[in-house]
Amino acid sequence: MTSPRVLLDRVHAAVEQAREVTDHPALRHLARVGLIAYGAMHLLIAFLAARMALGLRGADADQTGALQTVGAGPGGRTLLWVIGLGLLCLGLWQAAEVLLWWRGLLDPAHRRRAAVVCTKCLAKGGVYGFFGVTALLFALGLEYQADERLPQLTDDALEIPGGAAAVGLVAAGVVAVGLYTLVRGFTGGFMKDVDLPAAPDRWEPVIEGLGRIGYVAKGIAFGLVGVLLWRAATSADVTDATGLDGAMTAIAGVGAGPWLLAGVAIGFAAFGVYALARARYPDRDPSS
């Protein structure tokens, strides 16, 4: 019978082997492709939001609209495959950071910190992976409209017992993500995702400034998505359950909407440039 100590040693050895695979330079380069795609996606969202601010409608000002724009261009199907695979590799590269921190989960003195770091890594990896899968679905021709799909899902959820509470919890989670994004923007915590020793000193203030603007804009937008989803949960009116494009539309509908939306577009563009800078100097460790 294998002793717990021997079993633990085998687990450690397996983790170290997996760590070597996820630290391979090839995966790092593919993750950079994903970061470039992630940045380009935000630049496209900024472009679509700017069009909306000017009263011009086209593709939705969200991730699906950005992917539709890519797919409609020259070589769009190939680019979607590259974007999808790059984002999947980025998600794997980011989530694999838990292989470094999981030992802390076994140590009572460091368990809480390790759990927080592992949760961040897995959450970020999951976001990148979701966008990657979405891009691959578009590459396969399985497109969908996020602003139409979300109300349908919300309506289905509200019809089951406890559905309103479940939608409310999701809304609270989205608002929490928006607030967390805002905090990262105000505190500059996002700079932990950049390999600062590798970046020229003269570029650090520029990268930080772009990141602050971008994170604040994203935090406001996603916070509004959560508020609209909360309204849908409390009023049972699924028309309030809209995604990012719906939040952009809501911003455009107020008195100073076009100006506010132009500001959000600038913010998303700033985030896109920040993501491109991160692709040049990537660091996947959120606790460094």
Question: pLDDT at position 201, please?
Answer: 86
Question: pLDDT at position 253, please?
Answer: 72
| Distance (Å, whole) CA 222 – CA 32 | 25
Question: pLDDT at position 150, please?
Answer: 63
- Domain ranges, ordered by start, for the chain: 4-280
CB atoms within 10 A of CB 11: 12
Phi, psi of 282 (to 5 degrees): -80, 145
240: helix, strand or coil: helix
Question: pLDDT at position 148, please?
Answer: 61
> Is residue 278 within 8 Å of 218, Cβ to Cβ?
no
The sign of the torsion formed by the CA atoms of 25, 195, 185, 176 equals positive
CB atoms within 10 A of CB 43: 18
Question: pLDDT at position 104, please?
Answer: 66
For 53, how many CA atoms within 13 A lie in the half-sphere containing its CB?
A: 17
Instruction: Supply 117's token pair.
Output: 């770091």
Per-residue pLDDT of the chain (288 residues; tens, 9 = 90+): 556 666 666 666 666 666 666 667 788 888 889 999 999 989 998 888 888 888 777 667 778 778 888 888 888 889 999 999 999 989 988 888 877 776 666 667 777 887 888 888 888 888 899 889 888 988 888 776 655 666 666 666 666 767 677 777 877 888 888 899 999 999 988 888 888 888 888 889 999 999 999 999 999 888 888 787 777 777 666 565 566 767 777 777 767 778 888 888 899 999 999 999 999 988 766 554
pTM score of the predicted model: 0.82
Torsion angle of C-alpha atoms 194, 199, 202, 206, degrees rounded to 10: -30
Longest Cα–Cα distance in the chain = 73
CA 234 to chain centroid, in Å, comes to 27
Question: pLDDT at position 56, please?
Answer: 75
CB atoms within 10 A of CB 234: 13
C-alpha separations of 70 from 27, 41, 83, 100, 268 in Å: 24, 9, 10, 36, 17
Instruction: Supply 215's token pair.
Output: 């994170």
> Is residue 225 within 8 Å of 243, Cβ to Cβ?
yes
108 DSSP β-pair partners = none
C-alpha separations of 10 from 17, 101, 105, 270 in Å: 11, 17, 17, 46
107: helix, strand or coil: coil
Residue type, 216: V
